[in-house]
Amino acid sequence: MKDFLKYTFASLLGNLLGLALMVTMGVGGLIFLVMAAATQDSGPQVKDKSVLVFDLSLNITDADPEYNTSELFQKALAEDSLNQIKLRTILEGLEKASQDDRIVGLYLKGTSNPTSTGLANSTEVRQALEKFKESGKPIIAYDLDWTEPEYYLASVANTIVVNPLGSVEMNGLSSEIMFLTGALEKFGIGVQVTRVGKYKSAVEPFLLKQMSSENREQTQKLLDDIWGKYITTVSPSRQLNASQLQQIADGQGILMAPEAVKSKLVDKVAHFDEVIVDLKKLTGEPEDEDKMFRQISINSYAKMPEVIKVNRGDVNSKNKIGIIYAEGSIVDGEGVGDQIGGDSLAKKLRKLRMDNEVKAVVLRVNSPGGSATASEIIGREVELLQAQKPVIVSMGNFAASGGYWISMAASQILAEANTITGSIGVFGVLFNIQDIANENGVTWDVVKTGRYANINTVSRPKTPEELARIQKVVDAIYERFLTKVSESRDLPKSKVVEIAQGRVWSGVQAEKIGLVDQIGGIQDAIAAAAEQAKLEDDWKLEEYPEGETFEQQILETFIGGESTQASSTLDPITLEFLKLREELAQLKALNDPRGIYTRLPFNLQID
């Protein structure tokens, strides 16, 4: 209940604190904060024979969201932003640590809370862990209970440890969808839908009370692809084969500590204090001293200047490879926080196109889609950019529907095997509040000069004629989507019609059917950009947006950078509340001027 209240009131307190900060301190006070931050120590220091600590509870994102002051305070109060790190920060930190003589090993610290790190990002991190292991430095992983997302990374470790009362989850993947139809009916909120594509299931939570056969079919295929990749990746690290892991998933699912050792999923059973003793052996510290082992967190290590320079190319070069991030739901206008604003991203792409020093661009897409109008605006800028310089798309966890729309014009598209992409389809969702309003004594009347003058009203359901007009627009946008995929990917229109229909595909399947060019991560995309621009080694990397915002610097000053507080386990009520909050938050992103969207199912979540 404590966590439930924390998340409930964080938004209100964030806005009040943001306002109080501006009112009480004024411009002079804010300048003082920035100057104070600038005079702090030079940064983290790495002591000789230190262990790098990677907290698996970290939420690994592509980029830092651009929040305003009140939103930053909300995140801090809810402890959302304190547990976040960028993907390239992790990759660069692990690569540098593998070569750093001061780092003697890596400790993977398990978590009690489910991580929201996506499947594709985890794949890139796992590959970086494997490279670290190849350096000869040991990796030790410990947790009370190993969940499958954590274990995917921990399986690389030389030694996997579980608590004596702990367990290991190896029960396969599932996707549970929340349907809101009954609630909407109960509260008198009407929903009408226009769509194209029999697999376009984004509207099902508002219309049905269970999955359609088409949605069940595509979701099953997607889970089978992702799970198959999971067990074929993990099994060799544990000297098992994929069929053995499948037998464990079917026959046991959750293994207590002794069973996990017997099944070769973990190497030993121990308490945390015993793990500390093992880590002290690496650092050469006395085992009997009552203190922690010599360590540095990956968050702090990544802030060191020599780590920041990793994979940044030649800093003296005048040739730039730009990385621009498209992460979140695609919305019309500027967008806020973790949204992709059609106008704001188009403006950034235009700036890169007009910068003669930028020779190639990597567009990192991690989006389930959203506004069809905003997707078209962004997609047009990608086309114009690609006509002047190479554009390489690196697909993250999602690059589907509108996320695919903004990707398809690129010179080359890379995706991870477990990236979720495709979903080439269009829908419109139209809410009305007639019933709930009438039940509470509210009615409307209207005067108009044309049959369709108030077609956008929410005071009543759409008439059949109005629905037909809206469906015609949806059909036209879908036809444009199909045509542009055919032209951009050099595929016959008939083939695109076959693989579209709103169906989602894994990265593996997307490569087979021609929606992506190859399997690879963001580092591969950077290499491809340099190759296509014929830069060889004469380039430097620049990320857009660059660095932290002014407001983020203020927040970091207040919270003191890194948090040392142990994360608490969220209770079931809070977890369900957060799921519902996430569902409802998606509705705020429905701001397309025509009410038409190219988007994945709102609540596609794989556990």
Of 401, 423, 488, 506, catalytic: 401
Paired with 195 in beta bridges are 427
Instruction: Output the six-digit token pair for 569.
Output: 């386990």
Rounded Cα distance between 420 and 478, Å, is 20
User: Is residue 27 scored above 70 in pLDDT?
Assistant: no
Alpha carbon of 15 to those of 77, 115, 251, 544: distances in Å? 11, 27, 50, 27
User: Do the two domains 50-171+253-303 and 320-560+595-599 of this chain adopt the same fold?
Assistant: yes
Task: Provide the residue count of the chain.
Answer: 607
pLDDT tier for residue 513 given thresholds of 50, 70 and 90: very high
Quote the Cα angle for 166-167-171, to 5°. 165
Amino acid at 542: E
Structural domain spans, the chain: 50-171+253-303, 320-560+595-599
- Top-confidence residue, 148 or 71: 148
Rounded Cα distance between 67 and 75, Å, is 9
- Tell me the pTM: 0.82
Q: What is residue 39's predicted lDDT score, i.e. its pLDDT? A: 46
Mean pLDDT of 240-253: 95
- Of 18-22, 116-120, 302-306, 323-327, where does mean pLDDT reach its minimum? 18-22
Of 200, 359, 389, 462, catalytic: 200
* Tens digit of each residue's pLDDT (9 = 90 or more) over 113-125: 767 788 899 999 9
Arithmetic mean of pLDDT over the chain:
85
Rounded Cα distance between 372 and 20, Å, is 38
Q: Spell out where 328-438 has E strands.
A: 329-331, 339-341, 358-367, 369-371, 391-400, 412-415, 420-422, 426-432
Q: What is residue 282's predicted lDDT score, i.e. its pLDDT? A: 95
* Tens digit of each residue's pLDDT (9 = 90 or more) over 342-397: 999 999 999 999 999 999 999 999 999 999 999 999 999 999 999 999 999 999 99
Mean pLDDT of 535-560: 66
* Tens digit of each residue's pLDDT (9 = 90 or more) over 555-575: 444 444 443 334 445 545 455
The SS3 of residue 194 is strand
- Top-confidence residue, 288 or 157: 157
* Tens digit of each residue's pLDDT (9 = 90 or more) over 218-230: 999 999 999 999 9
User: Is residue 73 scored above 70 in pLDDT?
Assistant: no
Q: What is residue 595's predicted lDDT score, i.e. its pLDDT? A: 66
pLDDT tier for residue 79 given thresholds of 50, 70 and 90: very low
Rounded Cα distance between 137 and 83, Å, is 26
Q: 401 an active-site residue?
A: yes
The SS3 of residue 283 is helix
Q: What is residue 472's predicted lDDT score, i.e. its pLDDT? A: 95
Calculate what percentage of the chain has a pLDDT beyond 70: 80
Q: What is residue 80's predicted lDDT score, i.e. its pLDDT? A: 47
Q: Which of 294, 286, 377 is nearest to 331 (CA)?
A: 377
User: Is residue 4 scored above 50 in pLDDT?
Assistant: no
Paired with 52 in beta bridges are 106, 296
Q: Is the dihedral of CA 548, 554, 559, 561 positive or negative?
A: positive
Q: What is residue 117's predicted lDDT score, i.e. its pLDDT? A: 87
Mean pLDDT of 581-602: 65
User: Is residue 597 scored above 90 in pLDDT?
Assistant: no
* Tens digit of each residue's pLDDT (9 = 90 or more) over 141-191: 999 999 999 999 999 999 999 999 999 999 999 999 999 999 999 999 999
Distance of CA 254 to the CA centre of its chain: 27
State which of 22-31, 130-139, 313-322, 562-571 shows the largest mean pLDDT. 130-139
End-to-end C-alpha distance for the chain, whole angstroms: 24
- Top-confidence residue, 606 or 513: 513
Q: Which of 571, 48, 123 is nearest to 283 (CA)?
A: 48
Q: Which of 235, 61, 47 is nearest to 156 (CA)?
A: 235
Q: What is residue 105's predicted lDDT score, i.e. its pLDDT? A: 97
Q: Is the dihedral of CA 160, 166, 171, 174 positive or negative?
A: negative
Q: 494 an active-site residue?
A: no
- What is the Cβ-side half-sphere exposure of residue 542, based on CA atoms within 13 angstroms? 19
Q: What is residue 563's predicted lDDT score, i.e. its pLDDT? A: 37
- Top-confidence residue, 82 or 155: 155
Q: What is residue 561's predicted lDDT score, i.e. its pLDDT? A: 40
Q: What is residue 208's predicted lDDT score, i.e. its pLDDT? A: 94
- Phi, psi (rounded to 5 degrees) for 573: -65, -45
If one looks up domain 50-171+253-303 in CATH, what number appears?
3.90.226.10
If one looks up domain 320-560+595-599 in CATH, what number appears?
3.90.226.10
Mean pLDDT of 484-504: 96
The residue with tokens 């030694």 is 159
User: Is residue 274 scored above 50 in pLDDT?
Assistant: yes
